[in-house]
Amino acid sequence: MIEVQGLTKNYGRLAAIKDVNFRVESGEIVGFLGPNGAGKTTTMRILTCFSPPTSGTALVLGMDVRKDSLEIRRKVGYLPENAPLYGWMRVKGYLEFVARAKAVPSNQVSPEIERVAQAVGISHVMGQVIRSLSKGYRQRVALAQALIADPPLLVLDEPTIGLDPKQIREIRQMIKGFARNRTVILSTHILPEVSQVCDRVIIINKGSIVAEDSPSTLTQRHGKSPRVEVLVRAPAQELMSFLSNLEGVTSVHPPSRLPQHDGIVGAAIESKRGADLRALVARSVVEKGWDLLELKTLDVSLEDVFIDLVTEENDDRAAQEARGETVI
C-alpha cells in the first residue's frame, strides 16, 4: 500500500524528517507516534501529495508521490491537523463541494454525501453553518470529507486532538469501523489511542523512526523492568530503606497516585528484568511485622516505552553534541 524509502524533507537548513523508511500493508491501521515537531505531519503531507519530499521515494498504491500526484490524491482521504473547514459554508454545501472536487459523478453526489454523513453521524446537522458546530461535530465533518469518494487509504493527522473524552471514544470507534475495508494511517501523541486502535506503531522522534512494531511487542521488547507496587502500614523512611536493600531490587520510590496517611505507605519497587519480586517482598514485609495491605505488579505501558525511546534518543544526541559532532 505504502512504501517509503530514504524519505527526507528539509525546510531551509532544518531537516523535518531524515532518511525515513517504512512500509504499510493493505488493510492495516498504523499509528504514527511522536512528540510535537517529530515529523509526523511532514510525513503525512508527503504521503498526501501536499508537499514533495526533498529526497527519497514514497510510493502510495504503487505510484510515486512526485510523478502521479493527481492520481494518488484521488485515492487518499486526508484529515489535516485541526480539521480546517470553511466556516461560512453549510455542512451539506461543503460536502457537495468536496464531492465535486473529488470528481464524484454528479448523479452520485447526493447518495455519496448521505452515505458519509451516516457513517460519521452528522445527518441531523447537514443544514447547519459549519462555524456554528461544536468542535466534535466539526471533527466529524472533517472526517466525512476525508471519506468522500471512498478512498482506499485514509491519512488522519491527530484525529482526536482537542476533543472531550466521550468524543475521542466515538471518533476512535468510527476510525476502527472505517478500517475494515481500507488502510488507515493516523498520527497522535495520545498513547492509549495507539494501543486501542492501531495494529502497528511507528514511533518517530526528531525526524527519524526510532521503533516500529505492534503495540504489544513494543511494550515487551522495549519495556522497562517489571514493577511491583505495595501498600504497607509501616514507618515511611524505614520501609523505603528496607525495600531498597532487598535482593534484586534496583530502585524504590513512592508512587505519586497512592494516598499516604494513617501510617500507610505506598512504594513502587523496580527490579532487574526477568525477576519476580512478589513472593520475596510479601514474605519480607510480613516477617518484619508490618501489615501488607496490597501488592500488585504493574504492566509496562506503551507510555513508558515511548518516553524511554524518545529520551534515549535525546540523551544520544546530547552526548553527540557534547562531543562536538554535528547533528543535522
Partner 1 sequence: MRGFYAIFHKELANFFVSPIAYAVIGCFLLVSGFFFWANVSFLSLLSLQASASPMFAERINMTDVVVRPFAQNMGIVLLFVLPLLTMRLFSEEKRSGCIELLLTYPISDVAVMLGKFVASLLVVVIMLAGTVPSFLLLLGLGSLDWGPVIGGYLSLLLMGGAFISLGLFISSLTENQIISAAISFVLALLFWILSWSSSFTGAQLGYIISQLSILEHMDSLNKGVLALSDVSFFVLFTAFFLFLTMRSLETHRWRG
Write out the residues near partner 1 by the rule CB under 8 A: 9, 11, 16, 42, 45, 48-52, 70-71, 73-74, 76, 78, 80-82, 84-89, 93, 97-98, 100-103, 145
Spatial separation of the C-alpha atoms in residues 13 and 194, rounded to whole Å: 32
Measured from the CB atom, the residue of 9 and 200 that comes closer to partner 1 is: 9
Spatial separation of the C-alpha atoms in residues 234 and 263, rounded to whole Å: 6
Chain center to CA of 67:
30
Q: Tell the smallest beta-carbon distance from residue 105 to partner 1 (Å).
A: 9
Cβ within 8 Å of residue 200, ≥6 positions away: 24, 28, 29, 30, 31, 212, 213, 214, 215
Measured from the CB atom, the residue of 104 and 269 that comes closer to partner 1 is: 104
Measured from the CB atom, the residue of 88 and 254 that comes closer to partner 1 is: 88
- DSSP letter assigned to residue 90: B
| Secondary-structure percent of the chain, ordered helix, strand, coil, rounded to 5 | 40, 30, 30
Number of residues that make up the chain:
328
Q: Tell the smallest beta-carbon distance from residue 155 to partner 1 (Å).
A: 9
Q: Say if CB 9 and CB 46 are below 8 A apart.
A: yes
Q: Tell the smallest beta-carbon distance from residue 76 to partner 1 (Å).
A: 7
Cα angle, residue 162 at apex, residues 156 and 168 outer, rounded to 5°: 70
Measured from the CB atom, the residue of 96 and 270 that comes closer to partner 1 is: 96
Measured from the CB atom, the residue of 141 and 211 that comes closer to partner 1 is: 141
Measured from the CB atom, the residue of 108 and 297 that comes closer to partner 1 is: 108
What are φ and ψ of residue 256, in 5° steps? -70, -30
Q: Tell the smallest beta-carbon distance from residue 226 to partner 1 (Å).
A: 43
* Residue showing cell 452528522: 122
Q: Tell the smallest beta-carbon distance from residue 43 to partner 1 (Å).
A: 11
Q: Tell the smallest beta-carbon distance from residue 203 to partner 1 (Å).
A: 22
**Burial of 292 from C-beta contacts in 10 A (0-12 / 13-18 / 19+):** middle
* Residue showing cell 504503487: 62
Q: Tell the smallest beta-carbon distance from residue 175 to partner 1 (Å).
A: 18
Measured from the CB atom, the residue of 59 and 280 that comes closer to partner 1 is: 59
Q: Say if CB 156 and CB 175 are below 8 A apart.
A: yes
Measured from the CB atom, the residue of 50 and 115 that comes closer to partner 1 is: 50
Q: Tell the smallest beta-carbon distance from residue 154 to partner 1 (Å).
A: 12
**Burial of 261 from C-beta contacts in 10 A (0-12 / 13-18 / 19+):** exposed
Q: Tell the smallest beta-carbon distance from residue 71 to partner 1 (Å).
A: 8
Of 287, 288, 294, give the one whose Cα is nearest residue 260: 294
Spatial separation of the C-alpha atoms in residues 35 and 1, rounded to whole Å: 26
Measured from the CB atom, the residue of 6 and 84 that comes closer to partner 1 is: 84
